[in-house]
Structure 1
């Protein structure tokens, strides 16, 4: 049995990464205030609201799909089944994508542009710290089935 078989990692990094990205954006907003141009207030509100609603729907759908697939929703627990239906047909990381969309939507709604690059940074760090390790875990657990899934489904979008 290899080191990735039992679980991807011992600490749930992804939620911490996104929380730290939000805190970094707030700190940057306090020390270096940035503003979104006020030219199309209704458009920015509609866009931010749409992104936030999309994030909530995607996140709930992804969690429900994992529960229905009888596997863990916690990123530091061992996967018992390979889930490839629901939002997992379109992206291998719908929960992390939902976190990213929520950060972008809040950044637009709250007129805090620092949340947008913080969301991009969270994607990069999550990919490096968590996603690659989770993928190794899934590869060791599900082998060729996971390889086929990776070939047909994008990591993010």
Structure 2
């Protein structure tokens, strides 16, 4: 896949998948109406949302530049993506989405979003475990298995994998 096509596909997928899970559904649950929590908690939530946006953008860019594809199952990468933040954790996108929802919960003072973050995280874990990992193993074989052994799926390493 050409980088330009990968960039367009990744952008569309980012708007559809994380945009829905971390944007549209939280809006539907809250209409962005906030409660009244202690200011430092709300600021922490805002920082978490901003950090999640940076991580998510970085991860999508890696799929285009390094993988020559998209995160979408219909247009997968040609190469296994193991650089950047993927040297620390195998699932930075999923972690970023859950962090964004959790941050929104703190920012808006809406505990219902914490429940939603847990449900969304469980769905993402299930998808990664029962669909993505077997598919990556079939597609990339020993390369993926070595990566999987070295880099945790959900708890980032302190030092990058080489």
In which range does the TM-score fall when normalised by the shorter chain?
A: 0.7 to 0.9
User: Greater relative contact order: 1 or 2 (C-alpha under 8 angstroms, separation 6 or more)?
Assistant: 1
Residue 97 of structure 1 deviates from its aligned partner by: 1.2
Aligned length: 138
Q: Write the deviation string for residues 67-113 of structure 1: whole angstroms up to 9, x where unpaired.
A: 11043223212331011110101111111111111101111111111
Q: Does 1:127 align with 2:130?
A: no
The change in CA–CA distance for 1:64 and 1:20 in structure 2 (over 3 A counts) is: closer
**Alignment counterpart, residue 68 of structure 1, candidates 65, 69, 85:** 65
Superposition TM-score, scaled by structure 1 size: 0.74
Q: Distance between the aligned counterparts of 1:131 and 1:71, measured in 2? A: 23
- Kept in 2: contact 1:138–1:146 (CA 8 A): yes
- Kept in 2: contact 1:92–1:154 (CA 8 A): yes
Superposition TM-score, scaled by structure 2 size: 0.72
Moved over 6 A (4+): none
Q: Which has the higher helix share?
A: 2
Residue 20 of structure 1 deviates from its aligned partner by: 10
The change in CA–CA distance for 1:146 and 1:120 in structure 2 (over 3 A counts) is: same
Residue 17 of structure 1 deviates from its aligned partner by: 7.9
The change in CA–CA distance for 1:148 and 1:21 in structure 2 (over 3 A counts) is: farther
RMSD: 2.9
